[in-house]
Structure 1
Amino acid sequence: MTVDVLKDLIAANLNRATAQRVRSLFAEINPHLVGDALFESRWSDVRKDAAVLVPIIPRREGATVLLTVRSSDMPSHAGQISFPGGRTHPEDATPVDTALRETEEEVGIPRHAVDVVGALGVHQGGLGYSVTPVVGIVDPTVRFALCDREVAEAFEVPLDFVADLSNHVTERRSHKGVDYNMFAAPYGRYHIWGLTAGILRTLAETLQADERPLADRSG
């Protein structure tokens, strides 16, 4: 699959209603806990805008999605798997600006190496964050330069794996004796869960119109 074909494929799917809907991931799979004081207290009353980059890399052996493992020194979500991204700064004019700035800071991918294709709808996560996932095609020749303070590791997941909904599950967790569900997408030794898994699931759901493997979609 050429880069242009991949870009056109992703762009076409981002225009679908499935891709653009706003998702409150926790409420979606835990309707019985909506309004529960124990869980509602974990969310801020003031929404905090943020954006992440969903970096798709057109490798010779097949397209991949880049993810990071957060440093154990981070004040929140330490050691968890995430997309490069973060909270919106005053100088950011758009979610794209936020996603590209954070990506360059965290993994060293310069703005000019990212061809922004579009964005998924807003995903509402924990701690009051309202996250816009920006989707971009990354120059496969770019070298990563990880910010050790924020990122412990970067790794890639095949886009074919992400696009297969059978790889996406919900798992049961417990908080102070109350059971709840979370999205997950285990990949080898990497346990992808929470908001990151929810965004990957949305991406997968947008790629289901054509059941052929992505590598076979040449036109």
Structure 2
Amino acid sequence: MSSRTDLITTLTAALAKEAAPSSDFDLNPEVVLPEGRKLRPAAVLLAFEASPSGARLWLTKRSSALKHHPGQIAAPGGKQDETDADLVATALREAHEEIGLPRNSVEVLGALPPHETVTGFTMTPIIGVLRSGFTPVPELGEVAEVFHVPMQHVTNSENFMVHGRRWRGSRRYYFAVPYGPYYIWGATARVLRGLAERFT
């Protein structure tokens, strides 16, 4: 899938399929979440780009100096600000700040269902396609690296696996979809797994 038109058609068809919200706790049904918990709204941008070698998705590696999720792989994004018109605006603003992606260079196609994170956010993944290529500019101090992975890798359910580790005294399980030197896991992998399920 090298043409932008084909990419848009494929993603639009995937977005049209019904899907339920997801959570960092999906693989840990024994976890009891408190009733009435207040989740803060956030959004990330899943920015896809057509290329002669095939469609690809832009991701970031967070700085190892950050307090939260240091060194993790993530889509550009963050919490919604009061000045953001909506969650689409949040995702586009964050992508501009974190990787230098101009807001008007993204054609937004829609959104995946919201995802609840262990850090108390309800994160909405916004799906967009780049109108043209761009040169990433990582945000100093927050983003260690900007890179892309083949779309076919993260939309193939067979590439996902379940891993586990001890967290806060118990063993927790999560999705992972490693690619080369990049260990994509947690909320990012869960959201991508939800997208991959729409391609089956």
Contact 1:59 1:140 in 2 (8 A): no
Q: Distance in 2 between matches of 1:141 and 1:123?
A: 29
Say which of 146, 150, 168 aligns to 1:154: 146
* Alignment of 1:145 onto 2:137: yes
Contact 1:168 1:185 in 2 (8 A): yes
* Structure 2 residue ranges without an equivalent (≥5): none
SS in 2 for 1:118: strand
- Residue 119 of structure 2 aligns with which residue? 127
* Alignment of 1:23 onto 2:44: no
- Residue 47 of structure 2 aligns with which residue? 55
Q: Aligned pair in 2 of structure 1 residues 158, 176: CA closer, same or farther (>3 Å)?
A: same
CA offsets 1:158-199 (integer angstroms, 9 cap, x no match): 011111111101101112441110111111111111000001
Q: TM-score, normalised by structure 1?
A: 0.86
Deviation, 1:46, is: 2.3
SS in 2 for 1:141: coil
Greater helix share, structure number: 1
Q: TM-score, normalised by structure 2?
A: 0.94
* 1:25-44 aligned within 5 A: 25-26=24-25, 28-35=26-33
SS in 2 for 1:153: strand
* 1:1-219 aligned within 5 A: 1=1, 2-18=3-19, 21-26=20-25, 28-35=26-33, 45-208=37-200
| Structure 1 residue runs of 4 or more that deviate by more than 2 Å after TM superposition | none
* Structure 1 residue ranges without an equivalent (≥5): 209-219
For this pair of structures, how many residues does the alignment match? 198
Contact 2:4 2:49 in 1 (8 A): no
Structure with max Cα Rg? 1
SS in 2 for 1:191: coil
Deviation, 1:22, is: 1.2
- The amino acid of 2:114's aligned partner reads V
Identical-pair percentage = 39
Q: Distance in 2 between matches of 1:73 and 1:97?
A: 27
CA-based RMSD of the aligned residues comes to 1.5
Deviation, 1:97, is: 0.2
Q: Aligned pair in 2 of structure 1 residues 133, 109: CA closer, same or farther (>3 Å)?
A: same
CA offsets 1:73-117 (integer angstroms, 9 cap, x no match): 222111111000000000111110000000000000001110111
Q: Distance in 1 between matches of 2:120 and 2:8?
A: 32
